[in-house]
Amino acid sequence: MDTSGGSVHLNFNLSNKDGLAVGTIDSPDQGAMGIPISFISAGENLLKLEVKLIPAAYHGSLSGDGKTLTGEWLQGGKALPLVLTKQ
């Protein structure tokens, strides 16, 4: 993700546990690992995540091939474009 101070890499770790979507975010450039995702909503090719700990959110839409999410990272009153690719 490109920020005014440079670029920051984010890793989203999403999985299914007992029928519920759960996940964490890693920000290796900032030395922050395992930040819990508080809320995940997925459906109709849309994904919404909320991270209360830092307060931030991500809203994205899934590509037709299911490999890319294109959306915005919302934090500190700013909306930054963020494209996520499946690894």
Could you report the per-residue pLDDT of 42-67, keeping only the tens digit for each?
888 999 999 999 999 999 999 999 89
pLDDT bucket at 13, cuts 50 / 70 / 90: very high
Q: What is the pTM of this model?
A: 0.86
* Number of separate domains in the chain: 1
- Averaged pLDDT, 18-33: 93
User: Which range of residues forms the domain containing residue 26?
Assistant: 2-85
CA distance 66 to 15: 15
CA atoms within a 13 Å half-sphere pointing along the CA-CB vector of 53: 11
Pairwise CA distance, residues 80 & 70, whole Å: 11
Q: What is the pLDDT of residues 70-79, one digit of tens each?
A: 999 999 999 9
